[in-house]
Amino acid sequence: MLSVKHLSFSYDKHLVLDNLSFQVKQGENLAIIGESGCGKTTLLKLIYGEFDLNKGHIYWKDNEILGPKYNLVIGYEFMKYVAQEFDLMPYISVEENVGKFLSNFFPEEKKERTQELLEVVELLDFAKTKVKHLSGGQKQRVALARALAKQPEILLLDEPFSHIDNFKKQSLRRRVFNYLKLKNISCIVASHDKNDVLSFADNILVLHHGKQLDYNTPEILYNAPKHPLIASFFAEFNTINDEIIYAHQLKIVEDSDLKVVVKHCYYMGNYYLIEAYLNGENIFIEHKTAIAHNKEIHLKIIK
C-alpha cells in the first residue's frame, strides 16, 4: 500500500503542494485531477522520488520513498513512472525497447512477455519498427509497455493517453487498465480527461491550487460535486440558485418559472447542447433536437 502523509513541497519559495494525505491499496487505481499547474505532475515525481519533500512522508509498504538527497539513483525497482517525455531508445525496434530490461538468460520467456505487452498496447504489427519512425501516440504506447515489462508493484502515469488519437484511445484504455487490475498492479494516473478516470479509477484526488479539494469515488464526485471545478471536469454544468446542475439535468417543459432565451445550438452527435441566457448569464441544456435562436423556453430541473 502507498501511504502519503502530510506532504508539502515548494519550488524555491513557491508552495506547490500543501499538506496532502491519502492512501492507495495494492491493485487500486487512483486518479489525480485538477487544472493545469495544480501540482499533478509534481506529486507523481515526488512519489517516484525525483524530488525531496519539504514536509511529510511517503511510504510504499515498509519502504520510505526518499529523494535525491538520499538516493544516488532516482527511482525504485518496484515502481515505474511513465512521464510525458517518453525517454525511449529511437534507433532500436519497438520490441527491443520493451524487452530491453528483461533477462536474456530466458529468451523464450522474454519473447513471450514482450509479445504479451505489445498486444496490450496494440503494437504487435510494429514490433520490428524502429522507434524513431513512430508517431507520438505510438511512442507513448511503447513507453507504457516498457514500464510494464518487469511487472512493477505500482505504476505512475502522467497523462498516459494524451498523444494517442481517438481511433485507438478507447480500446487502449480498457486494455491497459484491465491488465493492471488483472495483475494487481497499483496505479496512480494524473489526467485532464474524464474518460481516463470515470470507468477505471477506484478513487479520485482533486487538487486545487496545490491543496486537496476532495477525495472520493468517481460516483460520489460525479453525482454530488462539492465545487464547480469538480463538475467542470465531468460535463457542462450550471450554477442555478447556488446549486450545481449538469446540462443533462435540465429538461424543456411547456411551462415553468425557469425561463431562458436560446442563444446557440451545438451539435454533439446524439444530442444538441443548447446555450441560453438566464438573467444575463449563460446556461447549458442538453436536448435531443436543435432549437431556434432567440426562442424562449421553460426548464425543469430533473435529478
Q: What is the DSSP letter of 130?
A: B
Q: Is residue 8 a contact partner of residue 19, using CB atoms and an 8 Å limit?
A: yes
- Of the three residues 223, 246, 272, the one that is the final residue of a domain is 223
On whether the pTM is more than 0.85, the answer is: yes
Could you list the mean pLDDT of each consecutive 10-residue stretch along the chain, which spans 303 residues? 96 92 97 94 96 95 92 90 86 91 83 92 93 91 92 95 87 94 97 94 96 97 96 95 95 94 96 93 95 95 91
Residue 265 sits in the same domain as residue 188: no
Residue 87 sits in the same domain as residue 180: yes
Domain residues for the domain of 200 are 2-223
3-state secondary structure of 179: helix
Residue 245 sits in the same domain as residue 290: yes
Cα-based angle 102, 103, 109 (whole degrees, multiple of 5): 80
In a domain, 228, yes or no: no
- 156: CATH: 3.40.50.300
What pLDDT was estimated at residue 182?
95
Q: What is the DSSP letter of 219?
A: H
What pLDDT was estimated at residue 222?
97
How many domains does the structure of the chain reveal? Answer: 2
C-alpha cell at 57: 512522508
3-state secondary structure of 229: helix
* Residue 219, φ and ψ in degrees, nearest 5: -65, -45
Contacts of residue 112, defined as CB under 8 A and 6 or more positions apart, other chains included, come to none
